[in-house]
Structure formats: C-alpha cells, structure tokens
Amino acid sequence: MTAAAVDRVSGFSAGVMRLLESIEYRRIDNADDLEDVARIRYKAFSMVGLAPQNGSLLIDELDFKPNAHVMGIFFDEQLVSTIRVHHVTGAQRDSVAVAHFPDVMNPLLDAGKSFIDPVRFAADPEIMREYPALPYLTLRVATMATVYFDVDYCLSVIKPNHRAFYKRVFQSIELTQPRYFERYNSNIELHAANADELKRTLFKRFPFFDSQPYERKLMFAPRETLGQTPLTILPTARYALQRSS
C-alpha cells in the first residue's frame, strides 16, 4: 500500500485492511460446503436463540433460488462466517425482505426498483470474539453485490438492536415500522441504504468495503460467463484504495 493510501486510512480501517489480507472469499455451491455453512449458522444462531430445533432448516429453499449467492469467508483456510445475498428485481422477487414485507417491497419492485437483500449473516462466535471486525468483512459481500448488480438499494432485514450499526455504517433508513414475527420472537425491521450514496461516501469512510471489478465478477458472474468457478477469491480492497489515491 502506498504512503498516500496509508495516510487516508484511519486506525480502525487500517486494522480491518490488515485482517482482510488474511481473508479469502468462496462461492458456496456444493453439498459439502453447504453443510459447513449450516454448522456456522447453527453456532451463530444458537448464541442469540434463533437456531431451529431441526438443523436441516438452517439450509432453506431460498439458498437455491436463481438470484441467490451464498458466500463463505475463510480465515487461515477455515470457514469463519457466511452470508447470502439475493439480487431482487421485478422479475426475480425471491428474498427474505419480499417474503416478510410484501406490501412494502412489491410496490417498489413494480415501480422498477432493484435491491440487494443480504441475510443469513452468521459468524463463528469464538472467531468473532478474537476478530470483532469480522462482520465488516462479511458484509463486504453485500457492498460488492450492490456495485456489481448496479441496484438502487441495499436492504437490511434486522432486529432492533442492530439498527444503530446499519445507520452508522451504511446510512440506512427505515422503510416501514417494525413488525413482530413469532418465528423470531422479536420485532423485525426493514431498512435500506441508497446505493448511489454508498458508492459516493462508504468507500471513502471505510475503504476495506471497496473492490476491483474483477473481484466482483469472480464473486457474482454466472458460471457460464466465468467458464470455471474460482476455488477462492482474494480481496482487492487494497488495490482499489491505491487506484483511488
């Protein structure tokens, strides 16, 4: 990283960038990897009382939809977190946000708006205690998808105690009032971050979210476009920062 680039990075962001250099991303597209994802989901959801009694429910039909992208984040060759994003359009409406808030989402989709819906965020609790920046590097998948698919908004379907984080980091706004869902035994909120605003300010404030076009292509391009699915994807935030300096 050049001296000019370093000067632009805060102490917090510099630390996250260093951790990012030990991270790899992988597309989750086979049964063995999905079993590992289910285990991470179970460990993470158990910590907050959301793990179902039937472990098979940790992998659901939305994992297999055409607009779904399940990603694994690896540290020292170990799966440490995972997230699923849906590219939601008028033609492809499969997502948690649409299922939970159809009266809000469907009119927006009918009006031609498009979204990234990142859900099923799960991180190994033991690893996250040692590396508290792990959520940022996991949610980096959502920011890359927002840019790659050139959507209007990046959504957040969250519990109320996460509201402050998403407002502070992504400048998200509420799309509707919180709603109680019995399956979560909690109110659930729907927030959205304006994609243009994210592109304009997020990468300046938190440069570790940034990426190069070829990284985003490896993450989300159709397999027939790539020819061969990459085994692992290395982060490019450092190069994006250098290029912008």
Q: Note the pLDDT tens digit of each residue in 171-192.
A: 999 999 999 988 777 899 999 9
Helix (H, G, I), strand (E, B) or coil at 188: strand
* Lookup result for tokens 């440490």: 80
Instruction: Categorize the per-residue pLDDT at 75 as very low, low, confident or very high, splitting at 50, 70 and 90.
Output: very high
| Domains of the chain, CATH where assigned | 3-244 (3.40.630.30)
Select from 72, 68, 69, 67 the least CA-distant residue to 90.
67
Q: Which residues of 216-229 are buried (b: 16+ CB within 10 A; e: fewer)?
A: bebbbeeeeeeeee
**Eight-class DSSP state of 14:** H
- Residue 11 structure tokens: 């102490």
Q: What is the mean pLDDT of the chain?
A: 90
Is-contact 156 170, C-beta < 8 A? yes
Which amino acid does the sequence have at 114?
S
The residue behind tokens 């959520």 is 135
